[in-house]
Amino acid sequence: MSSVITNVEDLRVLAKRRVPRMFYDYADSGSWTEGTYRANESDFQKIKLRQRVAVNMEGRSIRANMVGHDVAMPVAIAPTGLTGMQHADGEILAAKAAEKFGIPFTLSTMSICSIEDVAAHTTKPFWFQLYVMRDRGFIERLIDRAKAANCSALMLTLDLQILGQRHKDLKNGLSAPPKPTIANLINLATKPRWCMGMLGTPRRSFGNIVGHASGVGDLSSLSSWTAEQFDPNLNWGDVEWIKKRWGGKLILKGIMDEEDARLAANSGADALIVSNHGGRQLDGAPSSIEALPAIVEAVGKQIEVWMDGGVRSGQDVFKAWALGARGTLIGRAFLYGLGAMGEAGVTRCLEVIAKELDLTMAFCGHRNLSGVDTRVLLPGTFPKP
Yes or no: say if 352 and 97 are a contact pair by the CB < 8 Å rule. no
Helix (H, G, I), strand (E, B) or coil at 197: helix
Q: Check: pTM over 0.85? Answer yes or no.
A: yes
pLDDT of residue 174: 80
Domain 2-376 annotated CATH 3.20.20.70: yes
Partners of 230 in the β-ladder? 133
Q: Residue 300: which of 336, 268, 252, 265 has the closest Cα?
A: 265
Give pLDDT, residue 176.
54
Q: What is the DSSP letter of 371?
A: G
**How confident is the prediction along the chain (385 residues), in pLDDT tens digits per residue?**
446 899 999 999 999 999 999 999 999 999 999 999 999 999 999 999 999 999 999 999 999 999 999 999 999 999 999 999 999 999 999 999 999 999 999 999 999 999 999 999 999 999 999 999 999 999 999 999 999 999 999 999 999 999 899 999 888 888 655 667 888 889 999 999 999 999 999 999 899 998 999 888 766 677 678 778 989 999 999 999 999 999 999 999 999 999 999 999 999 999 999 999 999 999 999 999 999 999 999 999 999 999 999 999 999 999 999 999 999 999 999 999 999 999 999 999 999 999 999 999 999 999 999 999 999 999 999 999 9
Q: What DSSP letter does each residue of 85-122 carry, written as one string? A: GTSTTHHHHHHHHHHHHT--BEE-TT-SS-HHHHHHT-
Separation of CA 36 from chain center: 16
Q: Which residues pair with 64 in a beta bridge?
A: 71
pLDDT at position 171: 87
Residues 6+ apart with CB under 8 A from 244: none
| pLDDT of res. 2 | 46
Q: Are strands 69-71 and 64-66 parallel, antiparallel or unpaired?
A: antiparallel
> Which pLDDT score is estimated for 173?
82
pLDDT at 180: 72
What is the total residue count of the chain?
385
Catalytic residues: 277
